[in-house]
């Protein structure tokens, strides 16, 4: 499974890339607005950090297909060819997806709540579809099952579009998709940090180190560890 980081906070991006083997960064207009800076200033900083080979997803804000298409080209011209343009799956968005995909642009179809949205986005040539797992569940449906249904539909109909699941409330939702072989997810920093937060693990590690220090009467530093291990 590919894991993308869903944020425009450059400090968070740097910190989490230092820990996790991440596959790229996704943004949306709400995420960019939270940074309180000009959007392209933020996006250019992210692109600089990722380098030209890093994957970045950026969403249009236009409402009609013609403007979406123009905005998509502006995004890629400013941020590089390895930028995926996110377009919502509404009627005007689907028109834009068809045109852009036909002309070689990599599009992430976003705002997906239903199987039929994903089907038409995939049939229109989107590189990814981004179903909103937790938002689907907030409507009373099963978000995990919806993503699995999309995956099965694509396989059975020979649609090569990938899945980039988004909108998670907890780690369980993410790992449920991993268990079902979903190709990629994008998660907020808080969810990602929580993946390795476990008080029981922390206690166990502390006990291992404390037992070593108490047994040998030293603090666990590299020099003292090396000496103890050599029996000096």
Per the CB < 8 A criterion, the answer to whether 192 and 181 are in contact is no
Average of per-residue pLDDT across 197-203? 82
128 is written with which tokens? 């990814």
Pick the catalytic residue: 86, 95, 102, 169? 86
Among residues 176, 134, 168, which one has the least CA distance to residue 151? 176
Are 102 and 203 found together in one domain?
Answer: no
| Cα gap 107→84, rounded to integer Å | 5
Q: Which domain holds residue 48?
A: 2-194
Rounded Cα distance, 17 and 33, in Å:
22
What is the pLDDT at residue 198?
79
Tens-digit pLDDT profile for residues 100-157: 999 999 999 999 999 999 999 999 999 999 999 999 999 999 999 999 999 999 999 9
Domain shared by 67 and 142, yes or no: yes
N- to C-terminal Cα distance for the chain? 47
- Residue 34's nearest CA partner among 188, 191, 166 is 188
87 and 165 co-located in one domain: yes
Count other Cβ atoms within 10 Å, centred on residue 85: 26
Is pLDDT of 227 > 90? no
Q: Are 182 and 151 in contact (CB under 8 A)?
A: yes
SS3 category, 52: coil
Give yes or no: residues 88 and 203 share one domain.
Answer: no
Q: Using CA atoms, how far apart are residues 131 and 146, in angstroms rounded to an integer?
A: 8
CATH code of the domain containing 98:
3.20.20.70
CA 109/CA 94 separation, integer angstroms: 8
Q: What is the largest CA-CA distance in the chain?
A: 75
d(CA 190, CA 187): 8
Residues 61-76: pLDDT tens digits? 999 999 999 999 999 9
For residues 152 and 86, state if they share a domain: yes
Same-domain check for residues 101 and 210 = no
Active site residue 36: no
The total number of structural domains that make up the chain: 2
Tell me what pLDDT residue 217 has. Answer: 65
Say yes or no: 94 and 134 in one domain. yes
**How would DSSP label each residue in 70-119?**
HHHHHHHHHH-TTEEEEEE-SHHHHHHHHHHHHTT--EEEEEE-SHHHHH
Looking at the structure, tell me whether residues 169 and 213 fall in a common domain. Answer: no
Q: State the chain's mean pLDDT as an integer.
A: 93
223 with 152, same domain: the answer is no
pTM equals 0.91
The verdict on 116 and 129 lying in the same domain is: yes
The residue with tokens 């997803």 is 57
> What gap in Å lies between CA 18 and CA 152, rounded to an integer?
34
Looking at the structure, do residues 99 and 189 belong to the same domain, yes or no? Answer: yes
């Amino acid at each position: 499974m590919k894991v993308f980081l869903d944020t425009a906070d450059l400090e968070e991006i740097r910190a989490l890339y230092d820990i996790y083997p991440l596959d790229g960064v996704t943004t949306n207009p709400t995420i960019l607005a939270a940074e309180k800076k000009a959007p392209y200033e933020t996006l250019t900083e992210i692109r600089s950090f990722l380098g030209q080979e890093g994957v970045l997803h950026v969403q249009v804000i236009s409402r009609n297909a013609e403007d979406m298409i123009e905005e998509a080209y502006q995004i890629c011209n400013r941020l590089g060819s390895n930028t995926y343009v996110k377009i919502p799956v509404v009627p005007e968005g689907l028109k834009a997806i068809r045109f852009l995909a036909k002309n070689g642009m990599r599009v992430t179809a976003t705002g997906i709540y239903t199987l039929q949205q994903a089907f038409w986005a995939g049939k229109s040539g989107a590189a990814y579809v981004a179903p909103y797992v937790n938002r689907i569940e907030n409507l009373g449906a099963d978000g995990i099952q919806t993503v699995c249904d999309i995956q099965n539909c694509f396989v059975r109909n020979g649609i090569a579009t990938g899945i980039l699941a988004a909108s998670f409330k907890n780690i369980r939702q993410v790992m449920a998709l991993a268990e079902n072989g979903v190709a990629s997810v994008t998660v907020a920093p808080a969810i990602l940090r929580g993946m390795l937060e476990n008080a029981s693990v922390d206690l166990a590690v502390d006990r291992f180190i404390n037992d070593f220090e108490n047994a040998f009467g030293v603090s666990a530093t590299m020099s003292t560890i090396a000496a103890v291990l050599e029996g000096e």
